[in-house]
Amino acid sequence: MKDGNLDYISNIILEVYQENFSEDNYYVSGKKDRLMQNEGKLDGLFCLYNLDKNLQKQFANKLGVEYEDLQVFMKVLKKV
């Protein structure tokens, strides 16, 4: 982001990466750099779309939604 802060979606994605790859600071740092390039929540959602199933499940859990509900949303996002 231009202001140096991650949007809400990208921030949650980064948390998921940090929890799963805490031993690989270089990898997490690279993902953070990539997420910092997002210009808004829509870009963050596209990053979410590219996460693997396990990471998407953790993301859904952090939001307090069912993974299946997230998948329905992802199908809609795919059409954007």
Please write the tens of the pLDDT for every residue from 13-54. 999 999 999 999 999 999 999 999 999 888 999 999 999 999
Give the number of domains in the chain.
1
- Give the residue carrying structure tokens 């990471």: 55
| Residue 2 pLDDT class (50, 70, 90 cuts) | low
For residue 3, being part of any structural domain is answered with: no
pTM of the model: 0.89
* Domain assignment of residue 26, yes or no: yes
Where helices occur in the chain by DSSP H, the ranges are: 8-20, 25-36, 41-49, 53-63, 67-78
Give residue 40's domain range.
8-78
Domain membership of residue 30 (yes or no) is yes
Residue 1 within any structural domain of the chain? no
